[in-house]
Amino acid sequence: MMAFTDGKALIDKLADSRELSREEWAGLISGRSPELSEYLFERARDVRIRFYGHDIYIRGLIEFTNYCRNDCYYCGIRKSNANAVRYRLTKDDILSCCENGYRLGFRTFVLQGGEDGWFTDERMCDIISEIRSCWHDCAITLSVGERPYESYRLFYQAGADRYLLRHETFDAEHYGMLHPPSLSAAHRQECLWNLKEIGYQTGTGFMVGSPRQTAQNLADDMLFLKKLNPHMVGIGPFIPHHDTPFADQPSGTLELTLFMLGLIRLMLPKVLLPATTALGTIADGGRERGILAGANVIMPNLSPETVRGNYLLYDNKLCTGDEAAEGCRGLSERMNAIGYRIVVSRGDSLNHDKTEKRTGGRKNV
Ligand code: 5AD
């Protein structure tokens, strides 16, 4: 464990907008203590409140397909999981999720799915433009994995505003331990740079406590986040899924996930930072603890109840009760109880330069 004063000095340095070296990051992460975490969370909350007050933005998550051509070792909807019950929502299904969500106060819809070839660029653009024309005041976020530059550009032109693509882990060797050889850290990162260039509000992120992850790996993740400077960062604990090669691996911890959330808030003060479903899954009150460590976004599930139980990336994923959009009131009450409030808003990134928008992805504009 690191001496409290040494850890505190590093946290103060971060809060001062100064950069940490790889060694400093790794030392801070591996040397953390409960006392140091408390200090970090207080500073992270101050920064969060300075920029976002006590507001919490909500995003309606529509998990529209669980078909996936990839075979990531950690993921329950990987191609080789023959036990997964596969489904695809129709365009009409998706539109009624949006309608329902709008009524509940959502102003961001997140279309998330596996890498499903059925959803060609043409089908995606059709769905995106339909949502765009029905709900002018809503943000459309996509989370459909790696696609060519041109596809990303077409989706943006069709009306998508934001894109979520976690880098999962920066280090190529560690990436190789979590993914089959057909996938690479370099390609994943290239996609992220492309998304930013096109003009998306871009979100990335990683799993905490994924198999064989080291403090050095997390240090590299922090350095990558600093460089990419994304608008959003989604992190959550790794949780094993029983039908994957990582079935017997231990989960990431609440404690380390919260520590990483606090660090991210201090390093990127204006970032949109969700308290994720995975965080709520590993511990009761996990998402509230996430908010108190600096998070400011929650992503309840808007998918139809009939399919919700099939989008299982990991075991015991929350998909009923408060997690579901219907439980929004319950969620609202829980957030009020810790002094925060869910707001009806698109909840755009404070970092996003509006003049950058809608350039069609041309370079040098
Ligand atoms: N545990 C935690 N998170 C997971 N994800 C996928 N599988 C798991 C798991 N077993 C995360 C990945 C992916 C996001 C959609 O869900 O980080 O990017």
Q: pLDDT tens digits, residue range 3-45? A: 999 999 999 999 999 999 999 999 999 999 999 999 999 999 9
* Domain presence at residue 356: no
Any atom of ligand 1 within 6 Å of the Cβ of 75? yes
Task: With cut-offs at 50, 70 and 90, classify the pLDDT of residue 85.
Answer: very high
Closest C-alpha residue for ligand 1 atom 18: 166
134 domain residue, yes or no: no
CA 348 to ligand 1 center in whole angstroms: 24
Beta bridge partners of 45: none
Q: In this predicted model, what pLDDT tens digit does every residue of 247-306 receive, in sequence order?
A: 999 999 999 999 999 999 999 999 999 999 999 999 999 999 999 999 999 999 999 888
What is the chain's Cα-based Rg? Answer: 19
Residue 226 and residue 264 in contact, taking contact as beta carbons nearer than 8 Å: no
Residue 87's pLDDT is 97
Which residue, chain included where needed, has tokens 């808030």? 265
Residue 191 structural domain: 4-63+164-343
- The verdict on residue 80 lying in a domain is no
Query: How close is the Cα of 13 to the center of ligand 1, in Å?
Result: 31
Q: Which residue has the tokens 């077409």?
A: 154
Distance from the alpha carbon of residue 232 to the mean position of ligand 1, in angstroms: 16
Helix boundaries (H) for the chain: 4-15, 22-30, 34-52, 91-104, 121-134, 149-158, 172-178, 185-198, 215-228, 254-267, 277-282, 286-292, 305-308, 328-337
- In a domain? residue 222: yes
Q: Is 318 or 310 the better-scoring residue by pLDDT?
A: 310
CATH number of residue 170's parent domain: 3.20.20.70
Instruction: Tell me how many degrees the CA angle 63-67-70 measures, rounded to the nearest 5.
Output: 115
Task: Give the integer Cα–Cα distance in Å for 268 and 251.
Answer: 26
Q: How far does the centroid of ligand 1 lie from the alpha carbon of residue 354, in Å?
A: 31
In a domain, 354, yes or no: no
- pLDDT value at residue 47: 97
Ligand 1: residue of 221, 253, 313 to mutate (most ligand atoms within 8 A of CB) is: 313
Residue 108 lies in a domain: no
DSSP assignment of 31-42 equals T--HHHHHHHHH
96, part of any domain: no
Instruction: Name 319's Cβ contacts closer than 8 Å, sequence gap at least 6.
Output: 301, 308, 309, 311
Question: Each residue of 149-167: pLDDT tens digit?
Answer: 999 999 999 999 999 999 9
Best probe residue, ligand 1, of 62, 75, 210, 303 (max atoms within 8 Å of C-beta): 75
Looking from the CA of residue 239, the nearest atom of ligand 1 is 1
DSSP 272: B
Residue scoring higher pLDDT (142 or 344): 142
**Closest ligand 1 atom to Cα of 240:** 10
Centroid of ligand 1 to alpha carbon of 75 (angstroms): 6
322 vs 1, which has greater pLDDT?
1
Contact 66, 83 (CB under 8 A): no
| Cα dihedral sign, 104-109-110-116 | positive
The candidate with the shortest Cα–Cα distance to 124, out of 84, 77, 157, 165, is: 157
| 148 in any annotated domain | no
Pairing of strands 232-237, 341-343: unpaired
Contacts of 353 (CB under 8 A, 6+ apart): none
Number of domains in the chain: 1
Judged against a pLDDT cut of 80, whether residue 142 lies above it is answered with yes
Q: Is the CB of 236 under 6 A from ligand 1?
A: yes
Give 184-196 pLDDT, tens digit per residue: 999 999 999 999 9
Q: Which has the closest alpha carbon to 108: 131, 76, 133, 124?
A: 131
* pLDDT at residue 328, rounded to an integer: 78
CB of 325 within 8 A of CB of 302?
Answer: yes
Q: What is the mean pLDDT of the chain?
A: 94
